[in-house]
Structure 1
């Protein structure tokens, strides 16, 4: 199975249904390039075509994918969204890095460092986990 980047729970992410055919589980396993995992208030059926929207990144932060899995939690559902094309995966990876850096800056704000310094620190510590190789099967 491909890897899924964890989206920070404190940064809103929306899943919108999109008009595309349902993708069967075996196709998700063979065509999925990796994806993101995000907290949602409701459950989604595996294979459902969705668009991942990250409002804090602007209107262009829209990534088409398919629900690969859905896990019930006390506070909602953790939903794994798989991407089946390189462009959507690349855009989502970049968007997730921005979200992670923003989250990191919020957690370490009193550290006395500038936002630029905190971003550089995050990149040095965590950027490898967001590489294309980290999302390949066997690297999850």
Structure 2
């Protein structure tokens, strides 16, 4: 089966917070995968196409926030899989988020290979953040995020 994909997906299980802009409801989710153009997560509730959401992720003591738009929502065994595209000026930060998530996953695999320790993505994120995240520039917040 051929899938036309603009950006490569990077699988991950990093916890994220999803805030629905129109309804102001908030919930914690686990990120499935992320690419330069957007991300995917599971939700217990259906989100309408074109619905605006704010995605938050804590990295190195800073909160990363990006505004996104629901591009698809598919029913899946007891939940919904939701696809989000990044909007507006957030492309630079979305690239940074992808880079950090990929670095964390790379770290997780290196630890398994070199030390034999099997870390969850979250455990690897905590360790990686303590060791390396200070080298990343501060997260930029856009005026559109108010």
Asked if the contact 1:50/1:65 (under 8 Å) is kept, the reply is yes
Q: Equivalent residue for 1:35?
A: 38
Can you give the 5+ residue segments of structure 1 that lack an aligned partner in the other structure? Answer: 21-32, 120-140
Q: Equivalent residue for 1:104?
A: 106
Among 90, 93, 96, the alignment partner of 1:94 is 96
Give per-residue Cα distances to partners, 1:23-52, cap 9 Å, x unaligned: xxxxxxxxxx93222333432111111101
Aligned residues: 102
**Higher relative contact order, chain-length normalized (CA < 8 Å, sep 6+):** 1
TM-score using structure 2 length: 0.54
Q: Equivalent residue for 1:51?
A: 54
Asked if the contact 2:12/2:105 (under 8 Å) is kept, the reply is no
Q: State the superposition RMSD in angstroms.
A: 3.3
Q: Equivalent residue for 1:61?
A: 64
Deviation at 1:92, TM superposition (A): 1.6
> Which one has the bigger strand percentage?
2
Q: Does residue 83 in structure 1 map to residue 86 in structure 2? A: yes
Can you give the 5+ residue segments of structure 2 that lack an aligned partner in the other structure? Answer: 24-35, 116-123, 129-146
TM-score using structure 1 length: 0.56
C-alpha separation in 2, matches of 1:76 and 1:5: 25
Q: Equivalent residue for 1:133?
A: none
> Which one has the bigger helix percentage?
1
